[in-house]
Amino acid sequence: MAAESPFTKDLLRFLAELSLNNNKTWFDAHKLRYVLQVKQPFEAFVEDLLARTAKLERCRPVPVKDAVFRIYRDIRFSKDKTPYKTHVSAIMSRTGRRDMQVPGLYVQLGPDLVGIAGGAYTPTPENLVRIRRAIGRRGSELGRLLRAAPFRRLFEGKLLGEVNKIVPPEFRDAVGRQPLIANKQFYYWAEYPPATALRKDLVSFVMKHHVAARPVNRWLERAMGTRGR
């Protein structure tokens, strides 16, 4: 029997319509569509990814509820008061959303793009120092991992992130040799057309990225000391 995509065009259609009608009245009127066309298929997709992640990491699968991000936006401190995200997303790791200091693979599906990312997106101040020190000591090792063929092919061999114009005195000599020390974030990102969500092999496609990124994630985990969590 031929494999089928986890999703139909209804998922992308709903999210596209939501982007044009981002208000509670419209969402409440279409709540059943959201549950049947978006929420339930996405949770089943994530459950499959989590099972494969657990096998890869030799750990227990994270509950789906701890991996999927809510579609409701936190607007308390935002100038943008639209109440809903116009994409669905989840994080595949040993801890899910419970501990975002543990690097994993982030997946985002929306009407404008499919994104696959990971790394250390919001390291705590303490973990930022640990990563910078690890780059100073073992930056060449990290460089080799970034240049590895699978990571280079899928993520262009790059760690992205906001960069400090001025680094603490401890790192000023090393930053010339290892420019990544100036980063405040250390994440990778691959972007695809929205129709990628309809691929029959979507789960395997995402896991290919996970396997390619795993050595970089493990390096970041060792740097931060989160491997045993």
* Domain layout of the chain by residue ranges: 9-224
Which of 89, 78, 1, 71 lies closest to 33 in space, CA to CA?
71
* 129-140 burial: b if 16+ Cβ within 10 Å, else e: ebbbebbbeebe
For the question of whether the overall pTM of this predicted structure is more than 0.75, the answer is yes
* pLDDT tens by residue, 43-70: 999 999 999 999 988 888 899 999 999 9
Q: What CATH number is given for 9-224 in this structure? A: 3.30.930
* Cβ atoms of 59 and 94 closer than 8 Å: yes
* pLDDT tens by residue, 140-187: 999 999 999 999 999 999 999 999 999 999 999 999 999 999 999 999
